[in-house]
Amino acid sequence: MPHSPQPYGQSPRVPAQASRLPAPQASLPAEPGLAATAPGAAAEAATLSLTLSGEPETGPGAAPAPEAPALGPLYVVGDVHGYLDELREALRAQSLIDEDDHWAAGNTRLWFLGDFTDRGPDGIGVIDLVMRLSAEAAAAGGYCKALMGNHELLLIGAKRFADTPVGSGAGTASFQAAWLLNGGQRTDMERLEDHHLQWMSRLDAIAEEDGHLLVHSDTTAYLEYGDSIEAVNDTVTETLQRNDPDECWDLFRKFTKRFAFRDQSGPQAVHDLLARYGGQRIVHGHSPIPYLLGQVGSEEDEDGGAPAVQGPHVYADGLAVAMDGGVTMAGKLLVVQLPLAD
């Protein structure tokens, strides 16, 4: 394991991830003989050809171009870490789900910032809920999407590679040992199925919504994986597909880094990411707010002694928003609408 603070801690891939694939182009074969039709048919044939080619009709009587679907409000969710009951409560408080845990928010957009499992009691239940909400939100005209967290990488590695040795800065390690050390729950591993693994392995690492650059970890390591959002996401997906334990370990190790935006150099680190990938402000999870503020010594301080988290932490000259309320240390699971109220 790297010598840094211990890391802590929708259905198949849905619109955000699928959008990287080129859309299939409609192709209609030309009908033979149109040019040899009766007098006056040439104009009709030309009109038919124009319509079939997909070019918009103009002039009186032309149908108006369809409007793009309206975008609903944008919400983000911090790290959940298996706390399913707290997640349900927080989503209901924002009227995003109903009392039966079904999507109730129409065209609302909802992003989870990663880390669904480990430390808490029901990580697989959290994944099942997010996957189901992804399908229900899409059917209602909205969406529910999720980012790759370091604990998704850790769980994937523990399942795929178990005790296979991997090289680390501290010597030889394994995904299995690191997973247990970082709150891995044996009940999650027992309930983990192939469709959960497939869903996790296709999650994006980075996204941009309404000027907010969404990432899981407060690190600049994303810069090592590509010059665009699409390139970063493709690189992460391809790395997991190659199924090499050392490559996957290196990816996990880099996603585990933190505090890049916290100190005096923090604003510049944020600027570096925004300049590369776009957006005006970074929104991240990963580092619990009490831990980020130095109010507790480590993520294992679960005695409730830290000041209560009331909401996101805005820092780095207002350029970064921390969303991990520290639910694993008697904190708060944050579900917040963006942009934040001033």
Residue pLDDT tens, the chain, 342 long: 444 443 333 434 434 444 443 444 433 333 333 333 344 444 444 443 433 344 445 555 666 666 667 889 999 999 999 999 999 999 999 999 999 999 999 999 999 999 999 999 999 999 999 999 999 999 999 999 999 999 999 999 999 999 999 987 666 799 999 999 999 999 999 999 999 999 999 999 999 999 999 999 999 999 999 999 999 999 999 999 999 999 999 999 999 999 999 999 999 999 999 999 999 999 999 999 998 988 875 555 555 555 689 899 999 999 999 999 999 988 899 999 999 986
Who contacts 4 (Cβ-Cβ below 8 Å, separation ≥6)? Answer: 256, 257, 258
* pTM, 2 dp: 0.79
Nearest to 239 by CA among 205, 276, 196, 284: 205
Q: Dihedral angle at the C-alpha atoms of 203, 207, 213, 215, nearest 10 degrees? A: 10
Q: Dig out the tokens for 215 from the structure.
A: 């990432």
Please list the residues that pair with 320 across neighbouring strands: 282, 315
User: Within 13 Å and on the Cβ side, how many CA atoms surround 208?
Assistant: 14
Q: Dig out the tokens for 18 from the structure.
A: 């699928």
What's the count of helices (H) and strands (E) in the chain, helices before strands? Answer: 12, 11
